[in-house]
Chains A and B, each alone.
Chain A
């Protein structure tokens, strides 16, 4: 089913990818989890161990350079993604980062936040992605650098996170 949906998404997006222009893209991925927000946030803010809940990640390496914190994800598919942690806001349960390199995107600024869910003891986790395609200029766009490629990459690498987070948090007592 998931594959089928992804195929539909691809078909829809390839139409818009044939067009031109500086159009920011959005994936607003939200999930309700039957776990206290504090519990979900504890797992998410632990940015050095994202492999615990993001199933596409094999290992994480964190480096600090001056005031900046960088994180390199080694993926199970062999790829590497470099990110910069922009801020961790405990009061609002929100972590912001910037994905610098490792995929066909540009100006990619995601965040993850945790809010109270609709019922007591529930959380809403929001993994929000704002990005542009990799190719910065007018068409023709080289193959693999269009909006569809960016959306596919992010869908494959980051979107399994929320589902897995739900599974982990709801199964642990």
Chain B
């Protein structure tokens, strides 16, 4: 009994310890080899490679549920991964061409953009039931939910605009014309600013979400995705056809640095724990790590084939 008590305590302690020491994890979708590379952002190395469905692109995470969700565009489904074990626990069939994906901050709803069918699907992330479907503007790509769970922002690539849906009933609240072919979309952490990468225009849109005032800034060739620093002072944009990241000072709306990364950078996200920016290089099969304080490349991590990591791919520990 005494022994059993000790064993129990030991197991409990080690479980607690592992929960405490767990780092932030970056989930990189590799579209070319149907896997997800899991990077420990403290160690800056791949700790796991998970087989998902065919041609994974989008990634969303629901930290409260310990789950990440991956869109497999060629399998027409969404893979559910348990982040405690990094095992696949389910595939949600969605039909169409699932690309963009986002979890609501309250973790109650998962939104999937069906690119070719111009649809948005609202899915229950626990029961996997499809709660609602709605048709939106052409080629919905990037999606993100406001921190208060009220609004869903979508880039409609072929309509050259951002569509804003009311999450209550998925009705369209607003449509904002941006540059040509907006793809990636992101918000400041407080939700006050919205950013889209406009691929064909080589621009980014900086939009105030209260007044809808918009500033359009030129970046480099074919920008795809963007992420803002947690203090919303700096915006990082991947230029897919220039192997670079444009660093924008948000208050002055000026480019303050251009960081050379790997070939065809696509997905980008910010590791708030270590102040690092992670960039998935589709053409180079690796991830570049940028120190956000110095804007210098500090590491390059090999991952799978054709990494895209489209969405908020870093899971911050809770």
Q: Are A21 and B55 in contact (CB under 8 A)?
A: yes
Q: Which chain B residues numbered 83 to 107 have a C-beta less than 8 Å away from chain A?
A: 96-97, 99
- Would you call B249 an interface residue if the criterion is a C-beta within 8 Å of the partner chain's C-beta atoms? no
CA distance A22 to B114 in the complex (A): 11
Is B241 a contact partner of A109 (Cβ separation < 8 A)?
yes
B187 at the interface (CB under 8 A from A): no
- Quick check: which of A23-31, A74-82, A114-122, A161-169 contacts chain B, the rest being far away? A23-31
Whether B282 pairs with A16 at a CB distance below 8 angstroms is no
Q: Please classify the interface of chain B as helix (H, G, I), strand (E, B), loop, or mixed, using the class held by over half of its residues.
A: loop
Report B276-315 residues with CB < 8 Å from chain A CB.
282-283, 306
Over the window 247-284 of chain B, the binary record of Cβ atoms lying under 8 Å from chain A Cβ atoms (1 yes, 0 no) is 00000000000000001100000000000000000110
Query: A21 and B241: CB pair below 8 A?
Result: no
CB distance from B115 to the nearest CB of A (A): 6
Chain B residues near A86 (CB-CB < 8 A): 221
Contacts of A23 in B (CB 8 A): 31, 55, 73-74
- Cβ contact within 8 Å between A20 and B241: no
Instruction: Evaluate contact between B74 and A21: CB separation under 8 angstroms.
Output: yes
Q: List A contacts of B74 (CB < 8 A).
A: 16, 19-21, 23
Q: Closest CB of chain A to B210's CB: distance in Å?
A: 33
The reply to whether the CB of B151 lies closer than 8 angstroms to some CB of chain A is no
Instruction: Knowing A23-B74, A138-B116, say if A130 contacts B264 (CB, 8 Å).
Output: yes
Contact indicator B115/A22 (Cβ below 8 Å): yes
CB contacts (< 8 Å) of A171 on chain B: these are: none
Residues of A within 8 A of B180 (CB): none
Q: How large, as a class, is the contact surface on chain B?
A: 20 to 34
B67 within 8 A of A: no
Please count how many residues in chain A sit with their CB below 8 Å of the partner chain's CB atoms.
17
Query: Is B282 a contact partner of A22 (Cβ separation < 8 A)?
Result: no
What 0/1 readout, one digit per residue, does chain B (65-87) give for beta carbons within 8 Å of chain A?
00000000111100000000000
- Contact check, B73 vs A21: say whether CB atoms are below 8 A apart: yes
Cross-interface CB contact of B99 among A16, A19, A22, A128, cutoff 8 Å: A22
A24→B282 contact, CB < 8 A: yes
Kindly state whether residue B214 has any CB partner on chain A within 8 Å.
no
The answer to the question of A137 belonging to the interface, with a C-beta cut-off of 8 Å to chain B, is: yes
- Does A96 reach chain B (CB closer than 8 Å)? yes
B73 touching A22 by the CB < 8 A rule?
A: yes
A137 to chain B, nearest CB (A): 6
A96 to B244, CA, bound (A): 15
Contacts of A20 in B (CB 8 A): 73-74, 76, 97
CA–CA, A40 to B55, complex, Å?
A: 37
Cα distance, A23 to B305, chains bound together (Å): 13
Q: Restricting to A129-144, which residues have a CB under 8 Å from any CB of B?
A: 130, 137-138
Least CB distance from B191 to A in Å reads 29
| CA distance in complex: A138, B99 (Å) | 13
Report Cα–Cα, A28/B99, bound state, in Å.
24
16 A-B residue pairs with CB within 8 Å: A16-B54, A19-B75, A20-B76, A20-B97, A21-B73, A21-B115, A21-B116, A22-B99, A23-B55, A23-B73, A23-B74, A26-B264, A86-B221, A96-B241, A128-B283, A138-B97
Closest 5 CB pairs of A and B: A21-B73, A19-B74, A138-B116, A21-B74, A21-B97
